[in-house]
């Protein structure tokens, strides 16, 4: 017997038939003798509809500013999970499984006061644990909790993954199963490279890099949280037949286990290739090379709420002037350039050059910590295909390379092949 | 300066434009210096959608019984008001009015444990009153509260009227304005009698009879509550221009005031004519006339959840056998007859006769307490038109007459005219 948290996203509860299917997945685990808590997202499309209304209403009233109160936004948007959790509880009861829904404020899942992008502080798990012990399934609303002001706070888009991992940590669950519309984590995007293989296991650190680098399987924050609390997290498909052979295999279900690297016996040098589209590059030419200049550049960008990704700064030749290159989302390029123009005098640089529509390709693997030459292999493979590298950044377990978007698919396939990820 | 509770139903908040319109109504009262709490229903259609899902999900799972957990039903269905209250709060803020939404559990509005048809027990009004004093509008979710089990309980369909009156009582409001899709209470249904006039005032007792007798303007329970707590309740239209002349007139706004009869100076003998369609008549022939026989008949009907309306029992000729006639909603007729057939032996009667599709027409007026001949006038007027009376019941302020449905409109117009309600 184990304690399992099962999380189902919006497409998995998109309509009543799919909710029934989710109930069958849950019943399978209950029938196998496990204690189960379920975390659900809103029915697919609902959150977008609610967000759309909250954003539109100030314009409808002719307000000079389209801003809205984040606390009201939260109250509106959180209603989606309230509906899906109630429907799933009824579906479970209908097929003979004891269940009740729990809204974030009822548990409570305590968050901070950052409405619209709140962080979970604490989850009161005692009553839920007690009921799970009696065989009752707890169906928990994802994406939301109770802020110190006694109002609902939401965690930001995709927050249900984070809710699930946080609930799993609070309930000391043996595993957190994230049911989604893909059947696991792949060595790269199978739509680009059909030879991509599903990974049986991947370490928290690698998954964190993969998620940060554009693999949309899991929200980055949920992986961080899983890593901190060592929550063994399983990514698997909600669309398979709940009673197909092996689906209830506790030790080895179909999907990808995200776990501590110690659990991964045969460590590969490279685990996966990720890519992120719509990157824009900004280069500042002949920036004064003195203390405080980086703060002068990136401070105004942070204030403008622009997420800066790769940053490349070379050692300057003569110690006085250097070039700084970094990337931002293409959608933020205009805003970033205008913020930098305003800072030109205080920072001191000659020119701003920018280019939109680039792609960042990343090679990820814990094994590269102890293997030399991983980066060189990538550079050579790309050079052989005539792909020009615009910028490079590296971390202990990741090499990121900025290239022209026309070469995105070719680069992904080339790297996937050169590290032997095609082979079973 | 006064304290006003304003209630807006589903059609009044059906879309963002209408929510903006509601915000303008609220702003008018704030600009006039009043303290305002608003009670809202869900956007039109939303509650039906949510109820439909809750009812359908057991069938989708193939459950042998279509029953659902009323606590889950409540959690699902209550989400509609959560959305409309948040949107209205943002709309108010957007036009410069300080506002915040309050969900039933946040105030809290405490109810009993009868999920799906709960009654309000108590409302904690102190914090809302304090904020109203600072100029903040409280936007309260109608139709719901917090049950003793710490879960959301709904009040049953139409419950937002009841919420509004209860909030008005708790906040000691000077008036409760029910904004709806009609502009007041009429002497009868204007779709049947174009000469129907809007009443400036009507007593609680009369409104209660009108609401019970089929006038759909207000929920019966809300009128009961208003009567008990003496909440002056104003029925008015939400579709008029919020800034039209007279709309903000505190003493005499356009609409109908429901108030204590002492406030009504020139009391009419008859105030209005109501009608209720789809009544079915059941007659039990030669029922044993002995103590306990009524309980033997109506007990089984109550157990089957059938709402019995008119009951007519004549004094039996020889003291041994009598006929009993009563009405039920046509939709319950079959169920009622089958419940009675089962009780035939214990009750003791010769035959059941029934007829569906009848109409009950009611003459209502406090003045008939002190005026003789009101009933006789009705009977003569209907006889003059050749309308056959099937059954009659009366109370102190009401005469109800059961007739064939073909004569419904003729009867309403005839009675409306004979009591002089056509005259200005």
Check for a shared fold between B3-261 and B272-418: no
pLDDT of residue A242: 95
pLDDT of residue B60: 95
Q: Is the pLDDT of residue B233 over 80?
A: yes
Q: How confident is the model at residue B215 (pLDDT cuts 50, 70, 90)?
A: low
pLDDT of residue A214: 66
Domain chopping of chain B, boundaries: 3-261, 272-418
pLDDT of residue A294: 85
CATH number of this structure's domain B3-261, picked from the four choices 3.30.70.990, 1.10.3720.10, 1.10.287.610, 3.40.1160.10? 3.40.1160.10
d(CA B155, CA B142): 9
pLDDT of residue A352: 93
Residue of A nearest to B85 (CA): A76
pLDDT tens column, B125-173 = 999 999 999 999 999 999 999 999 999 999 987 799 999 999 999 999 9
ipTM of the complex: 0.86
Q: Nearest CA to CA, how far is A105 from chain B (Å)?
A: 10
Give the mutation candidate from A86, A96, A104, A151 for the B interface (greatest B CB count, under 10 A).
Answer: A86
d(CA A362, CA A209): 9
pLDDT tens column, B11-58 = 999 999 999 999 999 999 999 999 999 999 999 999 999 999 999 999
Q: Does A17 touch chain B (CB under 8 A)?
A: yes
Mean pLDDT computed over every residue of chain B? 93
CB atoms within 10 A of CB A22: 25
Q: Is the pLDDT of residue B198 over 80?
A: yes
Q: What is the CATH number of domain A3-262?
A: 3.40.1160.10
Residues of B in contact with A56 (CB under 8 A): 16
Which has the higher per-residue pLDDT, A28 or B306?
Answer: A28
Give the mutation candidate from A24, A75, A143, A154 for the B interface (greatest B CB count, under 10 A).
Answer: A75
* Of B19, B61, B75, Cβ closest to residue A86: B75
Tokens coding A400 = 């990121």
pLDDT of residue B214: 66
Q: Does A16 touch chain B (CB under 8 A)?
A: yes
Strand partners, A325: A283, A312
Give the CB-side neighbour count of residue B307, counting CA atoms within 13 A.
Answer: 7
pLDDT tens column, B78-87 = 999 999 999 9
Closest listed residue to residue B140, CA positions, set B121, B116, B115, B165: B165
Burial classification of residue B417, based on how many CB atoms lie within 10 Å of its CB (0-12 exposed, 13-18 middle, 19 or more buried): middle
pLDDT tens column, B330-369 = 999 999 999 999 988 888 888 999 999 999 999 999 989 8
CA distances from B115 to B144, B145, B151 (A): 10, 10, 9
Strand partners, A340: none
d(CA A157, CA A214): 15
Taking 70 as the pLDDT cut, the residues of chain A under it are 214-215, 424
pLDDT of residue B26: 98
pLDDT tens column, A241-261 = 999 999 999 988 999 999 999
Residues of B in contact with A146 (CB under 8 A): none
User: What superfamily does domain B272-418 belong to in CATH?
Assistant: VC0802-like (3.30.2130.10)
Q: Does B76 touch chain A (CB under 8 A)?
A: yes
pLDDT of residue A67: 84
Task: Decide: B390 and B166 in contact? Cβ < 8 Å.
Answer: no
């Amino acid at each position: 017997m184990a304690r399992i948290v099962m999380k189902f996203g919006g497409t998995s509860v998109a309509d009543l038939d799919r909710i029934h299917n989710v109930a069958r997945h849950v019943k399978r685990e209950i029938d196998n003798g496990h204690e189960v808590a379920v975390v659900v997202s809103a029915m697919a499309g609902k959150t977008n509809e609610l967000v759309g209304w909250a954003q539109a209403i100030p314009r409808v009233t002719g307000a000079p500013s389209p801003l809205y109160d984040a606390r009201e936004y939260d109250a509106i948007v959180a209603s989606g999970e309230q509906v899906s959790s109630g429907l799933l509880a009824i579906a479970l009861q209908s097929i003979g499984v004891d269940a009740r829904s729990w809204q974030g404020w009822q548990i409570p899942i305590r968050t901070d006061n950052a409405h619209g992008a709140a962080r979970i502080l604490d989850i009161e798990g005692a009553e839920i644990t007690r009921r799970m012990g009696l065989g009752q399934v707890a169906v928990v609303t994802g994406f939301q909790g109770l802020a110190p002001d006694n109002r609902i706070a939401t965690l930001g888009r995709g927050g249900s993954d984070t809710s699930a991992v946080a609930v799993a940590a609070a309930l000391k669950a043996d595993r957190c199963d994230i049911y989604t519309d893909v059947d696991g984590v792949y060595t790269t995007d199978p739509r680009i490279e059909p030879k991509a293989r599903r990974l049986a296991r991947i370490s928290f650190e690698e998954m964190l890099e993969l998620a940060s680098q554009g693999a949309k399987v899991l929200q980055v924050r949920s992986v961080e949280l899983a890593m901190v609390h060592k929550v063994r997290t399983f990514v698997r498909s909600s669309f398979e037949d709940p009673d197909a052979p092996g689906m209830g295999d506790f030790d080895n279900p179909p999907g990808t286990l995200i776990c501590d690297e110690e659990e991964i016996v045969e460590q590969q040098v490279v685990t996966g290739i990720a890519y992120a589209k719509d990157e824009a590059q900004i280069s500042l030419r002949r920036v004064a090379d003195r203390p405080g200049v980086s703060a002068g550049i990136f401070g105004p960008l942070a204030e403008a709420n622009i997420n800066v990704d790769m940053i490349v700064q070379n050692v300057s030749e003569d110690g006085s002037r250097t070039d700084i290159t970094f990337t931002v989302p293409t959608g933020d390029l205009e805003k970033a350039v205008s913020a930098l123009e305003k800072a030109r005098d205080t920072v001191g640089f000659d020119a701003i050059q920018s280019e939109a529509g680039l792609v960042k390709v990343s090679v990820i693997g814990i094994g590269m910590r102890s293997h030399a030459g991983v980066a060189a292999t990538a550079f050579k493979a790309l050079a052989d295909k005539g792909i020009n590298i615009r910028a490079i950044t590296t971390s202990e377990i990741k090499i990121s390379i900025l290239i022209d978007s026309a070469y995105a698919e070719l680069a992904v396939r080339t790297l996937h092949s050169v590290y032997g990820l095609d082979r079973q």
